[in-house]
Amino acid sequence: MPKDGTHGKLKKSGIDKIENRNIILSVMKKIKKNQRRETTKGKKYSLQKNKGKKNHLIEGRITITLGGIGFVSTPQLKQDLRVENQFLNTALHNDIVKISSRRAQRGATETKVVKIIKRAKMEYVGVIEKEDTNYFYIKPQDLRMYVNIIVPKTHALSKQVGYDQKVFIRITKWENAQEPPQGEILQIIGKIGVHETEMNAIVLDKRISSKFPENVEKEAEYLKRTEKNILESEITSRADYRGVSTFTIDPDDAKDFDDALSYQTLSNGNIEIGVHIADVSHYIKKGTTLDSVAQERGTSTYLVDRTIPMLPEILSNDLCSLNPKEDRLAFSVIFIFSKESIITGKPFELKKYDIKTTIINSDKRFTYNEAQKILDTKKGIFNKELTALNTLAKKIAKRNKAKGAISFSQEEVKFTLDKKGKPVDIQIKRMGETNEMIENFMLLANKTVANYVHKKVPKKERVFLYRVHDKPDQERILELIQLLHGLGYTMRGGVNDNLAFELNKVLDTARGTKESNMIQIATIRTMAKAIYSIQNIGHFGLAFENYTHFTSPIRRYVDLVVHRLIKTYQQGKRIEKKDWVQYNALANNLSEQEKNAMEAERDSVKYKQVEYMRGQIEKVFDGTIISVTNWGIFVEETKTKSEGLINIKDIGDEYFVFEKEKMRLLGKKSGKTYRLGGAVKIKVISADINSRIIQYQLV
């Protein structure tokens, strides 16, 4: 057992309870006794294999960093295995690989890729970096592609390409890591820096289909033509809500309306609130061509200037969309609350709920701003309903937080583009009351349907797609505790069941202080990524035992599948065990598709931020330090959220030391510090649209 001094160090880090310190010390003891305790520069403990253990192969998915280092994740191991660049053996980002791991000199673990099981991607967008007599050397736009691709000049499109163009290429051969991969040009996308070229390049690089096959469009058109017959055949079998006050609330530029709210006071004084979701599953049947294409896309993708829908627009914007003054089929969660629930200062009570197919007719399409104005002025159509819904939504949010839901502030970047697609302005949109109101009712509906399936279907008969969020990694939490301690904050308990409450306490205490932003950034970075899974581990961030996605079937395929599963279970049917493996694969694929779409969105935002900053060279802005490394700091410009780099050699004339535990750079002579979340003045030095890197300078 380590000396008593370790107890004291852990206590100073905020781990007050002796039983929690004992758990950590016990783990350290086992590491020391049974395996090997290796202390890294950051004073972390890493687990290594015992000497003499036989080397064996492990299969997993490899992630490549921007620095060209690989990390392999596999269910067999709790921690990812690091693969140095020289041992990647032609592995590319997201490939399925086999690796070997062995003890090298001085006790270090050496991990190598020995076989590529399945390639994740072979097509890339790039530009010509150089050429020789026989080849063009194409530099990929994807920074995780760590080598150039050579393309023979003899290929047809090679004779038409120039240095000022972006191209779409496919790797045709790469068997030897000592040689560059060979490829062929599939398409000349267009001139570098032109709006359409850059947006199309993002779509191609992420392998997102922007057009639907002709047979899919025809299938969608047929459904639209038969709309009247479909509605007439469904009226008698559905709960009719066409006479109940109903409305949608969405962004200004929204075209597809997944969800609507209805409100009415019942004869006994109780309040009925309906969360009505477009009944997409009634139109798109499993196994159809439409269904296959929707599954392949997985989600709608939102770029700065366009939406690439999961479904053809005749469905997403028309037939399935809950448009105003139109009869629409819905799958609804109907909540009955006590009459006191809408009174400020009174507790709320959910008396019962029902999940059923309905037919609705939305009275009004609100934008968030329009609904917010009614809440602010207490005047306008549905003022009473909106006020009551907002009061109840706040109570729901308060209860969620009391149960451990973690509260982060949310912001969104919005661009104003000119006719050529160039950004002329960037605004930050923050969530208002109406955004939060809708979000809280959607969370309630998602949680409710997951709870419903959990209770209705025995575990051994239940397959379901959950939205899960794991607890943070213990090591990251301990690092956060150290950081907070250095700022004068105490997070008690460490990695126990009270973690969410302790995180909220710190976030609330820091709100409005100069270190608030730093603490939020650091806390977010401790969080795991939410994914889809048939294994329910709960949702840590929302503090829900059961959670799913039900409320957006027009733009998310997982919601469409969840609708089908609920209907199956409501009919007393079950999913055959032999099909469960398909749902597991589907959950994994949908998680990857979601990630891919989010990366495309971020890429389009990043490109426009860089393009905007090209017009701001030598101008001075306020910024916040969002990352500190041993080679520099990343700063986010306050008004546009444009992220840029300041190299450590450009910070000052003195030598700076990186202190990882405190997430700061410390000047050896002056004692000047640059820490995570710190406020700085910056000048724009350069903005490169090819690398999408902005260079700042401290002022």
Q: Domains (ranges, CATH) in the chain?
A: 4-46 (no CATH), 57-118 (2.40.50.690), 123-192 (2.40.50.700), 214-405+434-451 (no CATH), 617-698 (2.40.50.140)
Give mean pLDDT in consecutive 10-residue pieces for the chain, a chain of 699 residues.
53 55 54 43 42 68 93 84 95 95 74 95 96 95 94 92 96 95 97 96 95 97 96 96 98 95 98 99 97 98 96 98 98 98 94 98 98 96 98 97 88 93 93 95 99 96 97 88 85 76 92 83 90 97 98 99 98 94 96 96 97 97 92 93 94 90 91 91 95 94
CA nearest neighbour of 429 among 639, 258, 594 = 639
Q: Structure tokens of 597?
A: 């779409």
Whole-angstrom distance, CA of residue 247 vs CA of residue 230:
23
Whole-angstrom distance, CA of residue 550 vs CA of residue 567:
12
Q: How many angstroms separate the Cα of 161 from the Cα of each of 110, 138, 155, 562?
A: 42, 11, 11, 47
Confidence at residue 39, expressed as pLDDT on a 0 to 100 scale? 43
Q: Which residues have C-beta within 8 Å of that of residue 488, sequence separation ≥ 6? A: none
Confidence at residue 10, expressed as pLDDT on a 0 to 100 scale? 55
* Strand pairing category for 38-39 and 45-46: antiparallel
What is residue 568's three-state secondary structure?
A: helix
CA nearest neighbour of 62 among 116, 123, 131 = 116
Sign of CA dihedral 29, 32, 35, 37: positive
Whole-angstrom distance, CA of residue 385 vs CA of residue 389:
6
Confidence at residue 411, expressed as pLDDT on a 0 to 100 scale? 81
